[in-house]
Amino acid sequence: MFIDGLQYCNWSNKIFEDWRSANLTAVHVTISYHEQFRETVSNFEKWNVYFENFSNLIMPAYTISDIEYAKANKKTAVIFGFQNPSPIEDDIGLIKILYRLGGRFMQLTYNNQSLLASGCYEEKDNGLSRMGKEVIEEMNRVGLIIDMSHSGEKSTIEAIEHSKLPITISHANPSFWHNAKRNKSNEILKLLASKGGILGLSLYPHHLKNNSNCTLDSFCKMIIDLIELIGIDHIGFGSDLCQDQPDSVVEWMRVGRWTKKIDYGEGSASNSGFPKMPSWFKGNKDWKNILNKLQELGLKQEEIDKIKGLNWFNFLKKTKGFR
């Protein structure tokens, strides 16, 4: 079982073949950032065409059985998520609709304040809004997993506490290793784990110690420290991999339609595009480097298996949405 908790690649035959070479069982795929409902539907339409054209490589994952079927039949199961609540607009009824269409994860915010909560780039974070609480309850009822990767500290804590089901931070790293707006405090990580949640470890350079120059050794030693802090059962990968994407895409992620200026997010005017990936993880072909290093550092195979996908699988099994 090998599951990546987040990717947003420039989808193509090549990417899907890389997934198969890496033997990825399932990938949580971002299907929209700032896209409204109808735009998100168009993205689902595009994926339906991928599923038709590349049915030998990929399939949609609506249930745990789909993921098991993918594993048995050497395909990669695609789990859909939204990085912002834009697709539900101001309409709570769209949660069930998007679930029916295949959505299984939704972030309550993407860096900025949303109708539901606050993002990690806002100066102030009031926690959950009135609609935010309603949406968490409906997501719990329907089976959409709450993802707080891009949310502020207070919003994240309140979401973990308000949700009756475990939530995820699908792609971020611990602040104790690299202090960045997108990385998470020990308080959040411990609370997340204590409630049965899961953290997907990011390989996006801005989330890594020394960014693009991060060493494989440092990344893997952080995992060992994190096991110490929150226990091994709450850790997976969420690579945040944007393989083959042009720089215009990172601008869309950061700027959407919320400003007329340029927002550089974690980047800067002199480094405005996608950051250079670390030499040991340039794409889906490089997973083996991390897995080998974890073994070299003394992790047992059963521990590596958990981090590699079993923890994600068990987490998804617990949630309502994959039954």
Q: How many binding residues for its own copies (CB under 8 A)? A: 17
69 binds its own copies (CB under 8 A): no
Binding residue (CB under 8 A) for its own copies from 39, 45, 217, 247: 45
Burial (CB count within 10 angstroms: exposed 0-12, middle 13-18, buried 19+), residue 14:
middle
CA angle 139, 143, 149 (to 5 degrees): 65
Residue 192 tokens read as 């997340």
145 binds its own copies (CB under 8 A): no
What residues numbered 19-38 form the site for its own copies, per CB under 8 A?
Answer: 37-38
- Give the CA angle between residues 178, 241, 60 to the nearest 5°: 135
- Rounded CA separation 55/32 (Å): 22
Rounded to the nearest whole angstrom, what is the least distance from the CB of residue 140 to its own copies in the complex?
Answer: 14
List 47's β-bridge partners, or say none. none
- Which residue from 10, 12, 13, 48 is in contact with its own copies, where contact means CB under 8 A? 48
Sole binder of its own copies in the list 14, 17, 44, 245 (CB under 8 A): 44
Q: Are 173 and 144 in contact (CB under 8 A)?
A: no
Residue 55 interacts with its own copies (CB under 8 A)? no
94 binds its own copies (CB under 8 A): yes
The answer to the question of residue 91 lying near its own copies (CB under 8 A) is yes
Q: For residue 133, what is the enclosing H or E element?
A: helix 130-142
Question: Does 101 help bind its own copies (rule: CB under 8 A)?
Answer: yes
**How many angstroms separate the CA atoms of 99 and 24, rounded?**
23
Nearer to its own copies, 102 or 196 (CB): 102
Q: Which residues bind its own copies (CB under 8 A)?
A: 37-38, 41-42, 44-46, 48-49, 91, 93-94, 96-97, 100-102
